[in-house]
Chains A and B, each alone.
Chain A
Amino acid sequence: MPFPLEAIQVDGGSGFKANFETERPRRRSALFERPLRSPRLNGPVERNNGAGRYEVCAIRDLPNDDIDDIDQWLDACAEEGNTFRPHHAPGGQTPAERLANRTAKETRPSQYVPNRDSCLSRSCGRRRVAATRAGRALYQGGRKTMKRSYLVAAAATVLLAGAAQADEIRIGVLYPIAGTGAVYGEPAMHGHNMAVDELNAAGGILGKKIVSFARDTKLKPAAASAAAKELITKDSVDVLIGGLSSAVGLAISEVARQEKVVYVATIPKTIKLTTEKRHDHVFRTASHTDFEGDAMGQVVAKLGLKKICDIQLDYAYGHDLAAGIEKGLKRHAPDAEKVLDLRVKLGATDYNAFISQIMGAGCDGVTSGLWGSHFVNFAQQGSPFGLFQQIKYISGGEIASHEIAGKMKGDYPDNVWSNTYELWYHHHDPSHVVFQEALAKRSGTKETAMWPVLAYIGVKFIAAAVEKAGSMDADKLAAALKGMSIDTPVGPRTIDAETHQADTGQFWGPMVKKDGVDYRVMDPVTFIPAVIAE
């Protein structure tokens, strides 16, 4: 073909098959899909369908049955259609002329109505199913039809030649927006939008506006990976950001690896993301399970605990954290002995069987990564047994964050030492005061949650990288992110050039009662930096 494919418009009833679907992202050409039953939006393509069917190649007989001959014949046909024959839609020009005369402003199909939000709803999924069905029917129609759609694709392309708009920076955002995970996803989106709004208010980056395309990961790896693919192929985003839950993070990272798009992981903590599963385009601004486990080892040593019970959730994060704690204990509290290993399924609600095992094991410390409602249930069920009077509870999973403490209030148990990325009442860095005030205004509560800062920092890293790279090219962005340092509301952060991991330390401390408030606060707050001293 005389020109590269830049974008393809289909009407949702395409006959393009697997080869097409794999080849298109590789060539980085955007796909525009029209809603079903709206031919008026699809005029140019429909006209080309007609052109293909009634005017150009399809009205001539095939030379013979030999596939090579047919291919040659088709090439000649396409050549004629693209460079000799004038077309109606581009005003009597040939497609090649149209391409040559294209001005920068016309990089986008004129009638294209951005309808991205609709894909958050279910109708989008249905449309895709319908498209597949139509495609299958077309395929069964025979090879000749296939050839024809190939031709139509070629012709349609010309009219719509145009890449993603050059004057905006497109960020694909992946958090759980509905369902169980929304408790984290919603505040994370607050932080994300706040960062984007701040940057845009200051004139954007390189004079370009930042536009976010948010998709729901539903806390499921499969949904996350489908959403990530859609963001890349349909919304042609330049970078991916987000991910919540270790399994989801790994799934998004895999898409980023295949599609060669930069992914900044803001929340997932599994160590694998930046060790065995690391690739050129994945970067993490969250902490990870080895840092967390190491800090827990330090706390165990500080409290002088000797016999440790470990209770973890039975999935990527729990397993990796258990390994991290093992290493942390060896390093900082070599004489502490692990006497019990417990695994609880993700989403478990009944912990009594485990609580009595812990109490029977005679340990003086419990290490854990039960997060969110897992911890709330565990604490509520353990308290009547007197569990928290018997042991010190050292926990990862950010249960010291205010969203847990503020909700549990008087039910928050004694003797808990835990971590958090941020505390609204603790100003580690002077810029935190401004950040917290802005966030409070945005979320409508004085006592803000911890998750926003993670999403916020991720966006700031991307912005800094685009600025430095001066381009949205994935490889250049990745190069810029390596070794990059920025200032954040919780102190400076640097991404390691080799491991792609930011030195994200966390605040650790005991959760204590405080006069005048009905929730527990961390006091004293200790910042444990993300450094593993060998």
Chain B
Amino acid sequence: MDSIIQFAQQDLGNPGLAALLSNPSFAFIQLMNAFSQAMNLFIIAAGLSLIFGVLRVINFAHGAFYMFGAYIVYSVAQEWTGNFWLGVAAAGFGLAVMAVVIERCLFQYIYDKEHLMQLLLTFAVVLILSDVAKIIWGTDQYSVSYPQSMKGAVDLGVTFYPTYRLFLIAVGPAIAIGLWLFIERTRFGRLTRAATQDREMLSALGVNVPIIYTGVFILGSVLAGIGGGLAAPFNSPTPGMDATIIVDCFVIVIVGGLGSIWGSFIGAIIYGLVFNYGSVIVPNWQDVFPFLILLAVLLVRPWGLFGKPEGGNA
């Protein structure tokens, strides 16, 4: 082992790799960092993936929903009540309301339209929402405090790790399982799956398909809002935060497979691992790695790791 470390340090001239190999607790912290980042991204990406899976709309405005979630947490938790959890709940509720309005007034008219139209409309919503956010919250960068009970760090034996990050690591799988149960085991979930398979038949059977669509859109948007709310303590709510997150989410969703919850889950973990270890080992290439994975997946399995080939289920 020592010789490997020496090789990394001297022959490769890579102090990052050497530090990872020689310091197990550092390697462990990076692992935890990867998971906590991944789980936060998963919550948001899952919403994007869900909406695409059912509605077949690539929603560029998803990042803006995330941004609104963060801003709402700031207003409710930091400005008015001082209770972070109330803020997150408000973010979820606020996004649900926004989702109803946007879906009923705009998105429902473009489900049958070509992709270019959908793209234009969702992009228009991005521009509108970012201006609305600026009108409401201005252009300052805000900071949201961690919830009182999760300010510190927990001793994991190997090292200390921030409580809030541990909480995120726990929340991600909980949401994944919850979503899976919801889609696989409930009546609404079954109808949702049916709607992705054959919308007309479902409607012929007397099911109110538009309601299902609205429901799915709300669910996806609420996930974005909650994701943004949970991110607010470490990602300062600020204009432009939507643009950064949407790119990460697209990488995750495409790697995992559009429409697949577990795909997003695994995609997010891959993204987190690559970003956190990559930025230690080859710091100058940290931004390239996620896209290299994306490229590799697109070349080998264009429909993503867990996705289905387009046209496979017409």
Given A345-B286, A353-B275, A356-B26, A373 and B165 contact (CB-CB distance below 8 Å) = no
**Option from B16, B140, B145, B245 in Cβ contact (under 8 Å) with A357:** B16
A357-374: CB near B (< 8 Å → 1, else 0) gives 100110000000000110
**Main DSSP-derived SS at the A contact region:** helix
Contacts of A379 in B (CB 8 A): 143
B134 to A, closest residue via Cβ: A182
**Option from B36, B163, B240, B284 in Cβ contact (under 8 Å) with A180:** B240
Contacts of B122 in A (CB 8 A): none
Contacts of B111 in A (CB 8 A): none
Minimal beta-carbon separation of B120 from chain A (angstroms): 15
Q: Is A183 an interface residue (CB 8 A)?
A: yes
Interface residues of B in 220-264 (CB under 8 A from A): 233-236, 238-241, 244-245
Contact B240 A347 (CB under 8 A): yes
A404-419: CB near B (< 8 Å → 1, else 0) gives 1001111100000000
A148 to B238, CA, bound (A): 54
Contact B139 A183 (CB under 8 A): yes
Contact B239 A354 (CB under 8 A): no
Taking each of A178, A342, A360, A386, which has the highest tally of chain B beta carbons within 10 Å of its own beta carbon?
A: A360
Q: Is B174 an interface residue (CB 8 A)?
A: no
Contact A372 B141 (CB under 8 A): yes
Given A180-B239, A384-B153, A353 and B33 contact (CB-CB distance below 8 Å) = yes
Interface residues of B in 73-96 (CB under 8 A from A): none
Contacts of A342 in B (CB 8 A): 283
Q: Is A376 an interface residue (CB 8 A)?
A: yes
What is the interface size of chain B, counting residues whose CB is below 8 A from a CB of the partner?
A: 46
Interface size class of A (residues with CB under 8 A): 35 or more
**Option from B23, B139, B276, B279 in Cβ contact (under 8 Å) with A182:** B139
Contacts of A411 in B (CB 8 A): 143, 145
Contact A183 B238 (CB under 8 A): yes
Contact A347 B244 (CB under 8 A): yes
A357 to B280, CA, bound (A): 8
B276 to A, closest residue via Cβ: A353
Contacts of A182 in B (CB 8 A): 134, 139, 239
Q: Is B151 an interface residue (CB 8 A)?
A: yes
Contact B143 A384 (CB under 8 A): no
A421 to B19, CA, bound (A): 39
Contact A377 B153 (CB under 8 A): no
Contact B235 A385 (CB under 8 A): no
Number of A-B contacts (CB under 8 A): 103
Minimal beta-carbon separation of B149 from chain A (angstroms): 12
Given A384-B162, A384-B165, A356 and B143 contact (CB-CB distance below 8 Å) = no
A361 to B, closest residue via Cβ: B19
Contacts of B30 in A (CB 8 A): 353, 356
A219 to B, closest residue via Cβ: B240
Interface residues of A in 380-425 (CB under 8 A from B): 380-381, 384-386, 403-404, 407-411
Contacts of A496 in B (CB 8 A): none
Q: Is B98 an interface residue (CB 8 A)?
A: no
A180 to B164, CA, bound (A): 28
Q: Is B178 an interface residue (CB 8 A)?
A: no
Contact B143 A409 (CB under 8 A): yes
A361 to B26, CA, bound (A): 10
Contacts of A403 in B (CB 8 A): 140
A449 to B, closest residue via Cβ: B140
Contacts of A354 in B (CB 8 A): 279
Contacts of A437 in B (CB 8 A): none
Q: Is A258 an interface residue (CB 8 A)?
A: no
A342 to B, closest residue via Cβ: B283
Contacts of A381 in B (CB 8 A): 234
A325 to B134, CA, bound (A): 36
Contacts of A350 in B (CB 8 A): 37, 234-235, 275
Contacts of B240 in A (CB 8 A): 179-180, 347
**Option from A178, A340, A386, A408 in Cβ contact (under 8 Å) with B160:** A386
A410 to B236, CA, bound (A): 14
Q: Is A349 an interface residue (CB 8 A)?
A: yes
**Option from B16, B23, B234 in Cβ contact (under 8 Å) with A377:** B234
Contact B37 A380 (CB under 8 A): no
Contact B235 A377 (CB under 8 A): yes
Interface residues of A in 203-236 (CB under 8 A from B): none
Q: Is B146 an interface residue (CB 8 A)?
A: yes
A183 to B, closest residue via Cβ: B139
**Option from A179, A186, A384 in Cβ contact (under 8 Å) with B164:** A384
Contact A373 B234 (CB under 8 A): no
Q: Is A343 an interface residue (CB 8 A)?
A: yes
A347 to B19, CA, bound (A): 27
Q: Is B58 an interface residue (CB 8 A)?
A: no
Minimal beta-carbon separation of B181 from chain A (angstroms): 29
Contacts of A408 in B (CB 8 A): 143
Q: Is A352 an interface residue (CB 8 A)?
A: yes
Q: Is B295 an interface residue (CB 8 A)?
A: no
Contacts of B160 in A (CB 8 A): 385-386
Minimal beta-carbon separation of A218 from chain B (angstroms): 11
Contacts of B241 in A (CB 8 A): 349
Interface residues of B in 36-70 (CB under 8 A from A): 36-37
Minimal beta-carbon separation of A261 from chain B (angstroms): 29
Contacts of B275 in A (CB 8 A): 350, 353
A89 to B287, CA, bound (A): 62
Contact A360 B146 (CB under 8 A): no
Contact B279 A353 (CB under 8 A): yes
A340 to B15, CA, bound (A): 9
Contacts of A183 in B (CB 8 A): 139-141, 238-239
A352 to B16, CA, bound (A): 15
**Option from B33, B141, B163 in Cβ contact (under 8 Å) with A407:** B141
A354 to B276, CA, bound (A): 9
Q: Is B142 an interface residue (CB 8 A)?
A: yes
A343 to B282, CA, bound (A): 11
Contact B234 A380 (CB under 8 A): yes
**Option from A186, A352, A357, A384 in Cβ contact (under 8 Å) with B151:** A384
A373 to B240, CA, bound (A): 11
A408 to B244, CA, bound (A): 22
Minimal beta-carbon separation of B11 from chain A (angstroms): 20
Minimal beta-carbon separation of B16 from chain A (angstroms): 7
A379 to B33, CA, bound (A): 16
What would 6 A/B residue contacts be, using CB atoms closer than 8 Å?
A373-B141, A373-B238, A380-B233, A385-B160, A386-B160, A411-B143
Known: A179-B240, A347-B244, A376-B143. 11 other contacts (CB 8 A): A345-B287, A352-B33, A352-B36, A353-B33, A354-B279, A357-B16, A360-B29, A372-B141, A381-B234, A384-B146, A385-B160
The 9 closest A-B pairs by CB, nearest first: A384-B162, A180-B240, A373-B141, A376-B236, A352-B33, A183-B139, A182-B139, A356-B29, A353-B276
